[in-house]
Structure 1
Amino acid sequence: MRVVMNTRSSLAHVDFTRQTFCLLGLPFDALTMPAIIDKLKQAIAQRQPCFLSTPNLNFLVNCLDDTAFRNSVLVSDLSIADGMPIVWLARILGLPITERTSGSDLFDCLRQSPGHHIRLFFLGGMDGVAESACRVLNADSSSAINAVGYLSPGFGSIQDMSSDEMINTINATQADFLLIALGAKKGQAWVMHNRHKLNVPVMSHLGAVINFVAGHVKRAPKYIQRLGLEWLWRIYQEPALWQRYYHDGLRFLKLLLLNIVPYWFWQQTHRTLLAQTELAKVDIIEQSGAAVLVLSGTCTHATIEPIRQALTRIATSYSTIRFDLAKVSVMDSSFIGLCLLAYSHCFKQAGELVFLNVSSEQRRIFTWHCAEFLLTHKDF
């Protein structure tokens, strides 16, 4: 491996060791619930920022048409599958995303976990809901989560909800976890707008949780959750949701037929190549102030460790990354997931992400993953 480094100052950290897989344009971390809990607790203990996103089917569908919404997931520090359709797709494609990790389950596990108590701040919800959630949470003496404050800003714009007074109110509580309930798009956008001003380590939009904690909405019984039919229960509880689920379901079927099935057939015809374990080769050169990664061989989950290491080495020195794919024989969802991490790095650093010498087959693979946006020259 040949590396040519420049002298740029250290850049914000992106963890290229994350085991992420691309599903329909979004990254998903292949983590079990205990591993997620450990990462969140570690972020709290070290006071390190951790933006947690929990994409479900509605996220997937809306991110296809909303670049800002998609970017909010791509720059997250953790992205976990909150929806059985995502788990089903992962199983079809043989990805190690084996369980649904809903925001509600995650919150319950944190609430029941032993050790240091977590200071929680609620932002959002209907009038009175956050207050009720705080009261219920603090009345539970066995809970590992303690509510230290809440704000219910109503239905204003992102700017209206981002005043210095609001940010200072949140920071003054020294909260460990900021739980946001403003609607998925607005909640993600609020984090993107304000995360650099907040001193809270963990922040996440977990909109339904605040209603469950407050007792304003009852969660589906466990057997319904296990069957992947919690969406039916949500419609029963909130009938207005049926239109959203109907639209998402139709879009899901279309994606299944036009993206997932063709990629699955491609996997079957390339099993020998995909099974190879020889590590990918990486040559790193500097070209017009950018780091060019010239890749060779197979780029799959079993072979891309050298690419992870190369990206880690160059991240502190380069905001612009170029992947040369001319000598890549095959790639998979794990490699595209790694490309999404590179996109996140370039986005955060206002740099460029460019792919060179992309073959027609490689372009099809990116398209099946709804990641063709990566192949467009990205000058942030």
Structure 2
Amino acid sequence: MHKETIAIHAGNHTDEGSHAVIQPIVMSTTFVRDDDGSTPKGFIYGRADNPNRAQLEKVICALEGGADAAAFSSGNAAGMTIFQSLKPGTHIIAPDDMYHGLNSQLKAMFNGILEFDFVDLTDASKLESYIKPNTGLLWIETPSNPQLKISDIKRLTRIAHENNIKVVCDNTFASPICQLPLSLGADIVMYSATKYFGGHSDITGGALVTAKNDGWWQNIRNIQQLGGAVPAPMDCYFLVRSIKTLPYRMRGHVHNAHLLAEFLEQHPKVENVMYPGLPSHPQYELAKEQMLAFGGMLSFNVKGGTENAIKVIQSVRLFTRATSLGGVESLIEHRAAVEPPDTKTPWNLLRVSVGLEHIDDLIADISQALDEI
């Protein structure tokens, strides 16, 4: 089936009791056993599983084309589960501009337990020089946050697998509508479901999707259930509902982002635009090859430095000055200001989550804000 059909039907289960077209929210924390102690429906306790969570995992798995999926209470919880699944002393290779929440998580929570190096993964030819005997995980993030760097998933994965290294790809910026890392060789895909899956800035969640239901995945599943960092039934219900419109929403995000990027690239007060759909992007040809669409995120550098960048976000009227991304409303953020002191993000960079407003209104708002500097 096509993605539009999968998004609508794969996450739904007709209620056997009421025959409701849409699956109801099951808030129960525990489930009745049969006389022999068995659980014919497969549900025992809310932390272990829930009907709404099962349907959420089913639709995300189907969209990604994976063997199984696991839902979490946040993207960071999903990422942390991957790190917890590794043996102490495992070496991780991660991008030098890895999402700061997971970068900080490694440094603050796993320092001394795991080893890690942050390197430029846009140059796949250098990957082998960082591999150690204890390297067990390659973490790819493409497009990256916030500089929209593109890494060659297929080539990096091939090198990793030749060295018996597992590969996880953070696909949050792309969504399964714009990129399918499992089809390019990745072992597991990670998402912050808070973003495009939720799509309305009102749900926090995360997800992992695996290519194989192997021993490593069963370990991840055990951590999910024993650790309990799982989404509530209502959150799962609303995520399933939001995913029904994901393919159509992504079309709008991509359309608007591309037009806004083209406008900004021609503006005299903009130094540089980072959007993989622009021919000027350093990895444009690679993006065309491995992405199904270029996504709804872009960043741009404002001429004149930090002061002018701040003036722009102070002057917008339609864009909301806020963290996060993937909602129907457009957001803009001075990214370096919210990242750790050792951030590699330029201080004149503004990150934009392009929403579903009319593109003419978005361009007019950015234009008037740039006129203020």
Q: Give TM-score, length-normalised by structure 2.
A: 0.26
Higher relative contact order (CA 8 A, sep 6+): 1
Between structures 1 and 2, the one with greater helix share: 1
Q: Give TM-score, length-normalised by structure 1.
A: 0.26
